[in-house]
Each structure stands twice: as structure tokens, then as C-alpha cells.
Amino acid sequence: MFIDIDLGLILLCAVCGCSVGGFAPGNITCNAAVHQCRSLTKARCDSSGVAYRGGRPWPFSRPDQNSGVYFNSDTLEEIQIKTAGNDASVGVPGISMVAVIKSGGNAFHGLYSASAETPTLQSNNLDDRLRSQGLTAVQPVKTLRLCLRRTARHQLQQEALQTATFTWHDLNGDKLYQPGEVNLNLNGFDFVSVNGAIGNVMNPNLKQPLYSESATSYEHELAPSVGFNTSYVYRRSTDNYNIPGPNVARPLSAYNIRITRRDPGADGILGTADDGGSVTFFDYSPAYRGVAFVQNELQNSPLPNQFHTVEFTVTKRPTRRWQGSASFWMVKNHRWITSTFNAPQDYFFALDETWGWAGNFEVSYRLPFDLLVAANMQSKKGAMGQRTVLFRTVDPDGGTPISQLSTATIRMEPYGAEVGPPLNVLNFRGSKDIRVRGGKLGFGVDVFNALNSNAPNALLYASGPTYLYPTGVNGGILPARIARLTARFSF
């Protein structure tokens, strides 16, 4: 249970929507509009009753999942927030907000507000499948265990600036490291990789990525106070790069050791029904082993990303007691999952050619006695991804070991081959204001996630026991349905 009591700090119930389109569709995120009303003093919130994994309390798990921005609406005279249907004058995708800040005066004004959520106002949206994956609303669950087997490596850390990874030979089999079990020579036979400044080189010709956008929109009045808007946006980014960039000291031709392994399928276990075919990838020649052959250089990728977005919106201006809007957009992606290519396998399924979509629906109605009721629905395509397999050093079938790379994570299918259930979030709000001497008294009730959806925001795609498990804040799923009661007095 938590109770916020804010003196002069207002809970702003801005219904946040899905960020549309964008240069990085991986970041097309839906704030789910649930539990969006936060005070400036978020640290006072307790998280009991909220789903979480691994026994770790999430002190801020219930607030919005992406935004770190909190508005104090008491400072705003007027505000307009559009989650969709922006015309070409809005240069960036996503939410557009226009606000007029209050001007000062000699008269003293303020607002007192209190709101409450309790476990009795909260539902549980866990089902048997999620419970079997270790999610629970009331108690900590088993921690995901990382099993270190004999191929475990020893890490050497120097002043926390860089990390070298070596192959560890547990010569006496006691599962403990003793000096002499690893050749710590950075150019020696046990060297696997290095992270940090030691392996990075400057590229004086590096350019900043260039983002360009073309947009066009069309508006038409369908009826008095009802408008239709459609827009098309083309976005393109060039000269993209990923930190730390490709290793220029180890060319593509160095990857000349062919390794063929059997795909263990989604369960990560060989010899079961879901096994796939064989996959071939490459390890680099031992001649390129050692830190002398690590020179990561930021380089502009010649491969551009492109996005086409179309959007349709119908808006009803506030007349005859009601207002509302409905919008729908789709985006066609042409996005490189990585801009860094070293080994031939880095090109495997590296292009995201998916379609994304989302929709918003909002309506509010003013009943007699100044009772305001509102509903807001957001839908969004489910989490997308592609299955990967982590191939370890030793081939269970006795084939060539991955001697230099040590391990290889391989994308096994096109991006978007895995699509989670759509995210549908329905919220309701009712409020009533009463004029009293010296000010205005208001009462409100919100119901967030009325459908009690448990759709995941993100999933794990690594083949193995946790394949397609939800991951992230709140166990990776939408927070359960919850009601909030609010009272406020403004003067």
C-alpha cells in the first residue's frame, strides 16, 4: 500500500502513449498508461503487491516504465498533450506537449491533493504460465542461477578501466583459481578478449550520424467539430555506429575456421523434438590472437536505417458534453540490428524488416452535476525479437571447438519471427469538482489496466530454459489492474 500526500505538488495524470515511429524502433515503447500519476516525491512509494522476479524489491517498479520526467501541473496554466495525430509541424515522433506556464501574482494560490492505492484495490494478473516462469505478486522467487561450468573464465580487472577475459584451466579440478592455471599474457594462448581503452583506437574521420525526415499530412473536416488527419513520415539515418565499433586489426578474412554445430532449438537442449538443423559460423585464426589484434575503432556504417510511418487520426473537439480521438499508425522498418560487423556470423539476420503498429482511443463525457467520465485505450504490437543460441567452446558432437572466440551467440531467425501478445491497456477515470467557499474541492477515481492484461513489454530470446520469458521492470509484464482514489482542494 502507498499513500501520497502532496502539499502543493500536484499529481499530473498525463496519459502517456506509445512513442511512434522513430529512429530506433527498438525503443518504440508504450508507457502502458498505468500508474502514470506520480508525485514529485516518488521515493515514498512502496511496491508491495507488485509482481517482481528474483526476490529483488523494485522500489520504483510501479511508476511509469520509461519516463524519468515528472511534471508539476500546478505550475501550468494550460496544457495540451497529443499522443498521436501530430501534423508535420511536429518534428519528432511520439508525444507532443504544449504547455503555458502560469504567470506570477500577488494573490496566494495552491492545491492540496491526496491519493491512495491499496492492495484491496489491486488485482492480480498472473496466470499459470507466468507463475510457472517464477513470477509472483507476493513473495520473492528463485533467483535465476548462472551455472559456471568448466569453460568458465577468469577475469582480470585493472583499475576498473578495462577487463581482459582469459580461458581458465582448472588443472587440479578444485573449481578454485590458483596462479598458474591461466596464462595472463595479453598476447598469450589463454587470451580471449579485452574491453576498455586498451583495445580502442580513435577514428579522426568519424562523422555524427545524420538523421533526415520528410513528412506530409492532410486534414479534412468530416463533420462540424470532427476532424480527420492522416500523415506520412519518412525517416532515414545514415553514418550510424555502435560503440566500440569493429575490430580493424582482425579483418573478416581472419575468420577462416569453419565451425558447424547443431541448433539445439528453443529449449537449448540437443536431442529433443525442437532441434533445428545445423548452423555454420567462423572462428578467427590463432594468428590473430591477443591484445595486439584488438583495435576497436568507431566507424560509420555504410548501411542506412529507414522507416516509413503512416498515421490516421479522427478527433472530436469538445462539444455537446463530449470529446474524443482515435488514432492508428503503422511503421515499416528497415533497420540494421547492429552497425558493427566483425565475423561473418554478424551478418546473420542482422536486418529488421518488420512492421510495427499501435492505436489510441480516448473519449470523455460530462454527465449532469459536473461529473466527468473518461476512458482511454491503447493498443500496441507485442514485443518482437529473434531466437539466439549461445554456442559454447566445446562441441557436444566432438567437432571443432571455438578456440579463439571462446563462445559465439548466433541469431537463428529473422528479427520479428517472435512476436509477443499485443499490449492492450484500458483505463477509466471519473471525477467530480465542487465549488466551495474559497476554492474548489475535487474527487476522482481511476482504474488502470481495466482489462487486467499481463502482456509482456519485452521477452528473453536466448534458447534455453528461460526462452520467451518476460523480462524487465515489474517482471516484464504490465502491472495488474488497480484503482486509485484521489481528493484535492485548490484555491
Name beta bridge partners: 350.
none
Q: Which is nearer to Ca ion, 245 or 264 (CB)?
A: 264
Q: Which is nearer to Ca ion, 172 or 185 (CB)?
A: 172
In sequence order, the 6+-apart residues with CB closer than 8 A to the CB of 346 are 338, 340
Q: Which stretch binds Ca ion (CB under 5 A): 103-111, 163-171, 218-226, 384-392?
A: 163-171
Render 83-126 in DSSP notation, one character per residue: SS---TT--SSS-EEEEEEPPP-SS---EEEEEEE-GGGB----
CB 469 within 8 A of CB 133: yes
Q: Which is nearer to Ca ion, 54 or 465 (CB)?
A: 465
Q: Which is nearer to Ca ion, 130 or 266 (CB)?
A: 266
Quote the least distance from Cβ 387 to Ca ion, whole Å.
12
CB 215 within 8 A of CB 230: no
Quote the least distance from Cβ 465 to Ca ion, whole Å.
11
| Among 264, 359, 385, 444, contact with Ca ion (rule: CB under 5 A) | 264
Q: Which is nearer to Ca ion, 178 or 256 (CB)?
A: 178
Task: Label residue 290 exposed, middle or buried (CB < 10 Å: 0-12, 13-18, 19+).
Answer: middle
Q: Which is nearer to Ca ion, 159 or 174 (CB)?
A: 174
Residue 242, phi-psi category: left (phi > 0), alpha (psi -120 to 50), beta (remainder): beta
Quote the least distance from Cβ 467 to Ca ion, whole Å.
10
Quote the least distance from Cβ 266 to Ca ion, whole Å.
7
| Among 46, 274, 353, 397, contact with Ca ion (rule: CB under 5 A) | 274
Q: What angle do CA 368, 374, 380 make, to 5 degrees?
A: 165
Quote the least distance from Cβ 274 to Ca ion, whole Å.
5
Question: How far is Cα 44 from Cα 39, in angstroms, rounded to an integer?
Answer: 9
| Among 174, 224, 302, 437, contact with Ca ion (rule: CB under 5 A) | 174
Residue 420 carries which DSSP code?
P
Question: How far is Cα 338 from Cα 386, in angstroms, rounded to an integer?
Answer: 14
Quote the least distance from Cβ 464 to Ca ion, whole Å.
10
Instruction: Name the helix (H) or strand (E) containing 29.
Output: none
Name beta bridge partners: 440.
435, 490
Q: What is the dihedral of CA 161, 389, 341, 168, to 10 degrees?
A: 40
| Among 73, 79, 141, 170, contact with Ca ion (rule: CB under 5 A) | 170
* By the rule CB under 5 A, 262 interacts with Ca ion: no
Q: Which is nearer to Ca ion, 289 or 387 (CB)?
A: 387
Quote the least distance from Cβ 181 to Ca ion, whole Å.
5
Q: Which is nearer to Ca ion, 87 or 395 (CB)?
A: 395
* By the rule CB under 5 A, 267 interacts with Ca ion: yes
Question: How far is Cα 301 from Cα 322, in angstroms, rounded to an integer?
Answer: 51
Q: Which stretch binds Ca ion (CB under 5 A): 115-123, 150-158, 171-179, 371-379?
A: 171-179
SS3 45: coil
Instruction: Name the helix (H) or strand (E) containing 306.
Output: strand 305-319
Q: Which is nearer to Ca ion, 178 or 185 (CB)?
A: 178
| Among 269, 390, 434, 436, contact with Ca ion (rule: CB under 5 A) | 269
| Among 22, 199, 244, 265, contact with Ca ion (rule: CB under 5 A) | 265
Question: How far is Cα 172 from Cα 169, in angstroms, rounded to an integer?
Answer: 9
Q: What is the dihedral of CA 401, 402, 408, 411, to 10 degrees?
A: -60
Cell of 180: 598458474
Q: Which residue is nearest to Ca ion (CB)?
A: 265
In sequence order, the 6+-apart residues with CB closer than 8 A to the CB of 66 are 29, 31
Number of residues in contact with Ca ion under rule CB under 5 A: 12
Residue 398, phi-psi category: left (phi > 0), alpha (psi -120 to 50), beta (remainder): left
* By the rule CB under 5 A, 397 interacts with Ca ion: no
Quote the least distance from Cβ 182 to Ca ion, whole Å.
10
Quote the least distance from Cβ 422 to Ca ion, whole Å.
28
Of 229, 239, 245, 227, give the one whose Cα is nearest residue 342. Answer: 245
Quote the least distance from Cβ 156 to Ca ion, whole Å.
16
* By the rule CB under 5 A, 244 interacts with Ca ion: no
Q: Which stretch binds Ca ion (CB under 5 A): 60-68, 182-190, 196-204, 267-275?
A: 267-275
Q: Which stretch binds Ca ion (CB under 5 A): 95-103, 166-174, 245-253, 334-342?
A: 166-174
| Among 158, 272, 319, 407, contact with Ca ion (rule: CB under 5 A) | 272
SS3 231: strand
Q: Which is nearer to Ca ion, 293 or 461 (CB)?
A: 461
Quote the least distance from Cβ 174 to Ca ion, whole Å.
5
Interacting residues with Ca ion (CB under 5 A):
170, 172, 174, 176, 178, 264-265, 267, 269, 272, 274-275
